[in-house]
Amino acid sequence: MASSLAATDRILVLPEPLPLDSGQVLPGVEIAFETYGALAADRGNAILVFHALTGDQHLASPHPITGKPGWWDRMVGPGKPIDTDRFHVICANIIGGCMGSTGPASLDPEGRAYAMRFPVITVRDMVRAQVALLDALGIERLHAVVGGSMGGMLALSLAANFPERAARVLAIATAARHSAQNIAFHEVGRQAIMADPDWRGGDYYAASGSGGKGPEKGLAVARMAAHITYLSEAGLTEKFGRRLQDRAAKSFGFDADFQIESYLRYQGLSFTDRFDANSYLYITRAMDYFDLAEEHGGRLADAFAGCAARFCVISFDTDWLYPTAESRAIVHALNAVAAPVSFVELSAPYGHDSFLLEVPALDRVVQGFLA
Amino acid sequence: MASSLAATDRILVLPEPLPLDSGQVLPGVEIAFETYGALAADRGNAILVFHALTGDQHLASPHPITGKPGWWDRMVGPGKPIDTDRFHVICANIIGGCMGSTGPASLDPEGRAYAMRFPVITVRDMVRAQVALLDALGIERLHAVVGGSMGGMLALSLAANFPERAARVLAIATAARHSAQNIAFHEVGRQAIMADPDWRGGDYYAASGSGGKGPEKGLAVARMAAHITYLSEAGLTEKFGRRLQDRAAKSFGFDADFQIESYLRYQGLSFTDRFDANSYLYITRAMDYFDLAEEHGGRLADAFAGCAARFCVISFDTDWLYPTAESRAIVHALNAVAAPVSFVELSAPYGHDSFLLEVPALDRVVQGFLA
């Protein structure tokens, strides 16, 4: 699925094998990325944006499969908060992903899809791959690194592990580690995928030609469960409540009587058109493994001790996936090492997804921080 | 599964076919129930306890499949808050269930399992069946009706629809209607079950003999997703955090590295030993359909207008499945019709499951209200 679209992306093949936290080494890593806006002669105006779990490099240009606008189209562009008239904005598909960068659907050196033979990667591995991309592009120091949700984890990881590479770090709706509840929801999704007989232990790629399309039902269930966590209870009540879907009365059956059921089913099904189930397994695993404090001797502040960047941390009051308390923990750690940090909890009704949606206050904070 | 255990229960066959909210009629309804404590000569000391979604009639006696103590063993017994030295306590398996009462695994008049030909039932239908049980037992007016979670919905429904049948109504950790988020989580569970090819459109009972065991994987995923909603985020962090399961380091694989993963997998798997997947579909559907206001012209207060019972409503501060706001809505409706009601939000760390767990303050409130 992903590889057929790779031609529309810029692809960089990393010149060196990529060392991984697991101890393994990944050879021939390809990174698919997009850029927006011109790179200044001094290469000092680059902003790297990290995408979230199910995002990709199509930040501000239409998605090649869905045809929808880029996932942060409202934030990135000429005159927008991340202003492509001023900045050279880079967004790369993470390794482990399925939109052109090397992941479980990619071919291994023997020429067959990695599937579950792909090494388990970490958030730091994803960052390491993109730092190698920056090296290849000749960008030594970013004007800023920016990310929401998992993208925020990558931004924090870059700050901690490559402290010289970014002058500004903007982490939105994120956390410095995955909580038990976060892991729990991901585990439900993984089990849903692995319970689907079409998963075939991950080796469903070969079967695609014979009509099989991979564990679509399991992946849809995983997406449905995750999607609930992206929205606030109040937002769901406002948007759907108990309203029925195209009917005047309950059916006394198991159709999607309620709008929320219809909506979730659609979210699940449409997701399978653009996402690879094995990538979902690997990326959720990387997120669950993420614990920036643990990586740095158990004390989060130590993760940031060597970093000279300015930080901006943003949370949303209705985000129950990565609630404000998680952002506060990051801010306290930054305070402990006297790092310059501004922090704001924004009020928005959309839950975790607020970082992707129409929240004018977010635009102002982002624009101000990058200025 | 269920029918083989029915012999250990008392079973009552309702003398009349049961009319359902769908307009259908269910013939030959069997109700499996247990009782604890002696019924007084004037039949005035009976307490009916309604169980929750995955509960059953084994309230205070060992579960016949798991061998574990009854689900409310800590609350019901001699000298306990629901004191069987004083009260005759009745607990019946709901219709649609799988522990002996008529449900989708039961045989239809043609002698085959209903499966998905079982009529879609409502919370009010479940109550109607148990009121018929009370009729058969000659119990005209209960000392109290008690329920937590879905059981609380049944208690409220009994108060609204059979207002003469209970002198006291105790509703714990519940709601007068299912929210969009509640429906959403249930829909994930249903889709997980229905996505399992072993579900076979519900007709998996016949296949059990041939080694098939029904949609166990799908049911396990459904249970895992639901289980997360029963626990608080803080409770999960306290109980599991990011601790690893029987290992010193992450495996860089997809085993249950984290204790929370291992716990959830166990919860999912063990659930399939004692619960029927079709029952899970039907009961969750009944809960999603539940909206006591809608049943009574759209105004919740009108549901309680004819009820002379005393009410007690209890919520838990960490319950995000049926948060305190839902209990407050019930209390406001009761206030609007000047019904006597006491309300308390208890502090307990366990989330929704608090009603089943060691919360001494709950014991005191229950005991006091029933006195």
Structure tokens that stand for A101 in this block: 């960068």
A190–B221 C-beta distance less than 8 A:
no
Residue A1 banded pLDDT, cuts 50, 70, 90? very low
Task: Examine the pLDDT at B2 and tell me if it is beyond 70.
Answer: no
Residue A213 banded pLDDT, cuts 50, 70, 90? confident
pLDDT in the model for residue B207: 59
Edge-first strand order for the sheet with A30-36 is A10-13, A30-36, A88-92, A46-50, A144-148, A168-172, A310-316, A341-346
Asked which of A153-162, A209-218, B40-49, B123-132 is least confident by mean pLDDT, the reply is A209-218
Which residues touch A181 (CB under 8 Å, ≥6 apart)?
B228, B231, B233, B236, B237
Residues of chain A neighbouring B250 (CB-CB closer than 8 A): 289
Q: Encode burial over A118-145: b for 16+ CB neighbours within 10 A, e otherwise.
A: bbbbbbbbbbbbbbbbbeebebeebbbb
Q: In whole angstroms, give the CA distance from residue B291 to residue B289.
A: 6
Is A58 a residue of the active site? no
A281–B254 C-beta distance less than 8 A:
yes
Which segments of A282-349 are extended strands (E)?
310-316, 341-346
User: A193 near A218, Cβ under 8 Å?
Assistant: yes
Mutate to test the interface with B, among A254, A257, A263 (most CBs of B within 10 A): A254
Check for a shared fold between B3-179+292-370 and B182-283.
no
A217–B221 C-beta distance less than 8 A:
no
Most distant CA atoms of chain B, gap in Å = 67
Is B73 a residue of the active site? no
Q: In whole angstroms, give the CA distance from residue A136 to residue B266.
A: 47
| Complex prediction ipTM | 0.94
Mean pLDDT score, B131-158: 98
* In chain B, where the domains are located: 3-179+292-370, 182-283
Angle, helices B216-230/B180-195, rounded to nearest 10 degrees? 160
Beta bridge partner(s), residue A172:
A148, A314
Nearest to A261 among B21, B183, B217 (CB): B183
DSSP-assigned letters across all residues of A3-52 = GGGGGGSEEEE-SSPEE-TTS-EE-S-EEEEEEESPPPTTS--EEEEE--
Q: In whole angstroms, give the CA distance from residue A143 to residue A48.
A: 8
Please state, in angstroms and as integers, the Cα–Cα distance from residue A307 to each residue in A158, A167, A168, B45, B59, following that order. 10, 9, 10, 71, 58
What CATH number has the domain spanning B182-283? 1.10.1740.110
Q: In whole angstroms, give the CA distance from residue B169 to residue B49.
A: 10
User: How far is the alpha carbon of A53 from chain B, nearest alpha carbon, in Å?
Assistant: 18
Mean pLDDT score, A206-225: 82
User: A29 near A13, Cβ under 8 Å?
Assistant: yes
Q: In whole angstroms, give the CA distance from residue A186 to residue B261.
A: 9
User: B277 near B193, Cβ under 8 Å?
Assistant: yes
pLDDT digits (tens, 9 = 90+) for B225-234: 999 999 999 9
Coil/strand/helix, residue B77: strand
User: How far is the alpha carbon of B349 from chain A, nearest alpha carbon, in Å?
Assistant: 14
pLDDT digits (tens, 9 = 90+) for B75-88: 999 999 999 999 99
B187–A264 C-beta distance less than 8 A:
yes
Is B42 a residue of the active site? no
Please state, in angstroms and as integers, the Cα–Cα distance from residue A230 to each residue in A189, A321, A337, following that order. 14, 7, 32
Overall fold of domain B3-179+292-370: Rossmann fold (3.40.50)
Average pLDDT, chain A: 95
Task: Examine the pLDDT at B338 and tell me if it is beyond 60.
Answer: yes
User: B319 near B351, Cβ under 8 Å?
Assistant: yes
pLDDT in the model for residue B353: 97
pLDDT in the model for residue A2: 33
A241–B180 C-beta distance less than 8 A:
yes
- Amino acid identity, residue A121? I
Task: Examine the pLDDT at B4 and tell me if it is beyond 50.
Answer: no
Residue A371 banded pLDDT, cuts 50, 70, 90? very high
Task: Examine the pLDDT at B7 and tell me if it is beyond 70.
Answer: no
Residue B9 banded pLDDT, cuts 50, 70, 90? low
Nearest to B237 among A180, A190, A265 (CB): A180
User: How far is the alpha carbon of B47 from chain A, nearest alpha carbon, in Å?
Assistant: 31
Residues of chain B neighbouring A177 (CB-CB closer than 8 A): 242
Task: Examine the pLDDT at B253 and tell me if it is beyond 70.
Answer: yes
User: How far is the alpha carbon of A22 from chain B, nearest alpha carbon, in Å?
Assistant: 6
Residues of chain B neighbouring A268 (CB-CB closer than 8 A): 191
Task: Examine the pLDDT at A130 and tell me if it is beyond 50.
Answer: yes
Q: In whole angstroms, give the CA distance from residue A223 to residue B110.
A: 40
What CATH number has the domain spanning A3-179+290-370? 3.40.50.1820
CA angle A313, A314, A320 (to 5 degrees): 125
Given B83, B319, B353, B354, the catalytic residue: B319
Which residues touch B341 (CB under 8 Å, ≥6 apart)?
B310, B311, B312, B313, B331, B334, B335
User: How far is the alpha carbon of B34 from chain A, nearest alpha carbon, in Å?
Assistant: 30
Q: Indicate the pairing of strand A30-36 with strand B18-19.
A: unpaired
Mutate to test the interface with B, among A252, A264, A284, A352 (most CBs of B within 10 A): A252
Residue A206 banded pLDDT, cuts 50, 70, 90? confident
Residue A61 banded pLDDT, cuts 50, 70, 90? very high
Residues of chain B neighbouring A178 (CB-CB closer than 8 A): 242
Locus of tokens 């060597």: A306
- Amino acid identity, residue A286? A
Phi, psi of A8, rounded to the nearest 5 degrees: -80, -10
pLDDT in the model for residue B208: 53
Coil/strand/helix, residue A258: strand
The H-or-E segment that residue A83 falls in is strand A82-83
Task: Examine the pLDDT at A210 and tell me if it is beyond 60.
Answer: no
Mutate to test the interface with B, among A118, A185, A200, A221 (most CBs of B within 10 A): A221
Mean pLDDT score, B227-242: 96
pLDDT digits (tens, 9 = 90+) for B278-311: 999 999 999 999 999 999 999 999 999 989 999 9
Please state, in angstroms and as integers, the Cα–Cα distance from residue B313 to each residue in A42, B284, B352, following that order. 67, 23, 14
B192–A221 C-beta distance less than 8 A:
yes
Which segments of B173-280 are extended strands (E)?
none
Q: In whole angstroms, give the CA distance from residue B328 to residue B340.
A: 14
Say which DSSP state A80 is in.
S
